[in-house]
Structure 1
Amino acid sequence: MNNDFVERLKTLIDHYELSPSLFADRIGMQRSSISHLLNGRNRPSLDFVMKVIKTFPEVNIYWLLNGKGSFPGQSKNGGDEDNIEASPLPPKKISISEGKKPIRIVVFYEDGTFEDFEPKK
């Protein structure tokens, strides 16, 4: 996954005509973290992925993570024959385990966008 992810990350940075340093600044990450990702030294964290998707909402999370789906400026399937087609999910009740209090809920949509919900304090 790591080499393919690095290539998609480079594609994303090139698409927005940013240097790795400017990309890091734009998403609010340390420049060294982006350098380590691009060199294959580190794997992407959930925090990194969420910052990319929040900063660039048109980026499809499925494309970013595993190359499936599409990316702005590419064909619908981005050259990948295993394109993910979203299917409607049946409604599901969410139950919270007794004694546990959720701190954050993230809902991902089929278009690659998401909403982040945190309880009011």
Structure 2
Amino acid sequence: MDIIERLQELITSEGLTVSGFAKKLGVVDQTIRGIVIQKRNKPSFDLLVKIIQTFDWINAEWLLTGNGEMRKSGRTTSSPDLFELIQYLREKDEKIEKLIEEKTELKIKFDIASQKLKMTEKTD
């Protein structure tokens, strides 16, 4: 397994999209996309440092070389609980995005109604 595959495994295990992973690291989406999807680049040293600092549970040796386990020893998680939590958070994210869209639509409708009201008041 090469470093690109390990990054893909990390993204999947965190339940993130490429975009979400980039956002969590504070890097441009295209940086991660160029590495894990388009496979044009290898991750830079600075990016690897950000990953290790952001995901403090990750075994740096595994990330860099593929040796050992993905998670540092001594840290245990319950996969079903983690999976359920990831699903729950994804559902909440989807709901938030829908609410943001609804808010935007309602603001547009409100602005249009306000403009119509102003026009009506001017003609009276």
Give TM class, smaller chain: 0.5 to 0.7
Corresponding position of 1:88: none
Runs of 4+ in 1 over 3 A off after TM superposition: none
What is residue 60 of structure 2 aligned with on the other side?
61
Tell me how large the CA RMSD over aligned residues is.
Answer: 1.9
More helix by share: 2
Question: Residue 35 of structure 1 corresponds to which residue in structure 2?
Answer: 33
Alignment pair present for 1:20 and 2:22: no
Whole-Å Cα distance in 2 between the matches of residues 29 and 64 of structure 1? 18
- Residue identity (%): 38
Indicate the structure (1 or 2) with the bigger Cα radius of gyration.
2
Partners of 2:4 and 2:42 within 8 A in 1 = no
Structure 1, unmatched stretches of 5+, are 74-121
Query: Structure 2 length normalisation: TM-score?
Result: 0.54
Task: Identify, as 1 or 2, the structure richer in strand.
Answer: 1
Per the normalisation by structure 1, the TM-score is 0.56
Count of aligned pairs: 72
SS for the counterpart of 1:64 is helix
Deviations 1:19-51 (A, max 9, x none): 000000001111000011112201111110010
